[in-house]
Amino acid sequence: LEKLLRPKDLKGLRVLMTAGPTVEAIDPVRYISNHSSGKMGYAIARAAEYRGAEVCLVTGPVNLPLPHGVEGIAVQSAKEMLVAMTDRMDSFDIIIKVAAVADFCVRNTSDHKIKKNESTPVIELAHNPDILASLGQRKRQQFLVGFAAETKDLARYAKDKMARKNLDMIVGNLVAGTESAFGSDQNKVTFFYPDGNEDALEAMPKDKVADQLLDAILLRRASHV
């Protein structure tokens, strides 16, 4: 019933998204990753599909079912996610980058399982490519949305990322302490725009945040074109 009552206000729009963590291999059985559950990104994908969009979700490993009607592309590492996104970006109208991309990958990945009686291993890290920044450089008509997970100075860091990565909007949320969004069904976010406007939302379930975000994107796109 809920689905039937929703307006199909995203009909005709193609939405490309990422969600979940990336995982960076140490050896064939071990990896570096983060606490992202994928819930926020999956909620947005589900809401966009409900509202009539064609949705492609590039997803790191998560414990969630792919929402009905959404095309899923499974990736592991940030480099795989970068390829999946750049290959597809040209044919989409809206790109929403929710994934918690690992900032570092392992430089000295071992192709065999590291044994405990070997000498203590040293894991060397290298920077991963910034996927969102490269989408920002290459975008044309697409409306590009990023997320910023911060433990302090939310507005300053979020606005800085929006400018640096050439975004049309950024969703900031604090990930420290009791308000942490990781794994939670609730989220408290602020929308920031390049013109300096911002909109601080109350704490609400992630599916409500998803609909608020899609409303905001539609409104902004309308005033852009």
Task: Verify binding: residue 147, ligand CTP, rule CB under 6 A.
Answer: yes
Q: Does 101 interact with ligand CTP (rule: CB under 6 A)?
A: yes
Tell which positions 60-79 bind ligand CTP, by CB under 6 A: 78
Would residue 197 show up in a list of annotated catalytic residues for this protein?
A: no
Task: Write each residue from 158 to 197 as x if it is in contact with ligand CTP (CB under 6 A), else as -, in one continuous string.
Answer: ---x------------------------------------
Distance between CA atoms of residues 22 and 100, nearest Å: 7
49-71 core/surface letters (b: 16 or more CB in 10 A; e: else): bbbebbbbbbbbebebeebeebe
Which among ligand CTP, Ca ion, none contacts residue 51 (Cβ within 5 to 8 A by kind)?
none
149 is a site residue for ligand CTP (CB under 6 A)? yes
Q: Measured between alpha carbons, how far is 77 from 74 in angstroms, rounded to an integer? A: 10
Rounded-to-integer distance, Cα 183 and Cα 180, Å: 8
| Nearest distance from C-beta of residue 219 to ligand CTP, angstroms | 20
How deeply is 5 buried, as exposed, middle or buried, from its count of CB atoms within 10 A (0-12, 13-18, 19+)? Answer: exposed
From first CA to last CA, the distance across the chain in angstroms is: 33
161 binds, among ligand CTP, Ca ion, none (CB under 5 to 8 A by kind): ligand CTP
CB 74 to ligand CTP: min, Å: 17
| Burial class for 93, CB neighbours closer than 10 Å (0-12, 13-18, 19+) | middle
Span near ligand CTP by CB under 6 A; candidates 2-10, 147-155, 181-189, 215-223: 147-155
Q: Which chain residues interact with ligand CTP by CB under 6 A?
A: 78, 97, 99, 101, 103, 128, 130-132, 146-149, 161
Binding site for CTP, by residue number, is: 103, 113, 129-132, 147, 161, 165
